[in-house]
Amino acid sequence: MSEPAMTRVAVCQTEPVLLDLAANVRHTTETVRGCVARGADVIVLPELATSGYLFDGADEVRSMALPLTHSVFDGWRAALGEGDAVLVAGFPEAGASGKVYNSAVVLDRAGIRAVYRKTHLWHREKRFFTPGDHPPPVVETVHGRIGVLVCYDLEFPEMPRSLALAGADLIAAPTNWSRAEIRSGTEPPQVLVARAAARANHVFLAACDRRGTERAQPFTGGSIIIDPDGWPLATPAADHIAIADLPLPAARDRALSPVNHVFTDRRPHLYALNTPS
């Protein structure tokens, strides 16, 4: 039996400049181009990579919101070159009727393949963003099936499970993980959640966090690429990029033992909410 093809995944832990679209577009475009030069097939940027995160009011959010016709997407597409590289990146999306969404785009050289609007909004996000009301996509690419979530979505087990059930080989998750308490000898809680999601659903998972401090809020810088058993494969190097070569089709074998399977062992009829007796 031949070995499965390897897909090089690059997770780019950038430091967006709050409210500076030009600087963020310039940096992310250069980063994408550099990752392609290093052979990356799938590139993931953080949540709200074009804008920064800690908005101080609705006017700031609207000033950074981008329609899907914005030139940034053409610039990213051009940076992907003429190969088959795929980009997943977070941005504030200008929707209809003045609504703004915390979104992630999936694009390749042909253009935008999918846009996902974050379903579960965290803390201050509820002041500025409208939650998405469509399920997260699974995009069929030449490298494999890529599902998309954004940050807090990972905290809801139904979300990665729904992507795995839909056939995802890899979950790409742009994030902005605010720094939380890390007890001695442990990982950030958000990383533990991501590892558990990968293991519970037997999928590869690439979580792309951001780094730095914004309006006195430090970020975790917890970017990580995880295998279907929940083990870390790569974290950012000195250049703030994590790279791993993944046999994505291997995730489709979801047998855990000769008699156990991630999906066929499920008993959904017992999972309904029950009233305490």
What average pLDDT does the structure give for the chain? 95
Q: For residues 16-32, give the mean pLDDT.
A: 98
Q: What is the per-residue pLDDT for 4?
A: 62
Q: For residues 185-194, give the mean pLDDT.
A: 92
Confidence of residue 277 (pLDDT cuts 50, 70, 90): low
Lowest mean pLDDT among 118-127, 178-187, 212-221: 178-187
| Strand ranges inside 199-267, DSSP E | 204-208, 213-214, 217-218, 224-226, 232-234, 241-246, 255-257, 260-261
Q: Which has more pLDDT, 38 or 181?
A: 38
Q: What is the per-residue pLDDT for 183?
A: 82
Residues that are catalytic: 47, 118, 151
Q: What is the per-residue pLDDT for 97?
A: 86
Q: Distances in Å between the alpha carbon of 134 and those of 155, 177, 190, 227?
A: 18, 23, 24, 27
Q: What is the per-residue pLDDT for 205?
A: 99
Using the structure block, give the residue that is written with the tokens 């500025």.
Answer: 128
> Rounded distance, CA 194 to CA 216, Å?
25
Confidence of residue 1 (pLDDT cuts 50, 70, 90): very low
Q: For residue range 136-172, list pLDDT tens digits in order.
A: 999 999 999 999 999 999 999 999 999 999 999 999 9
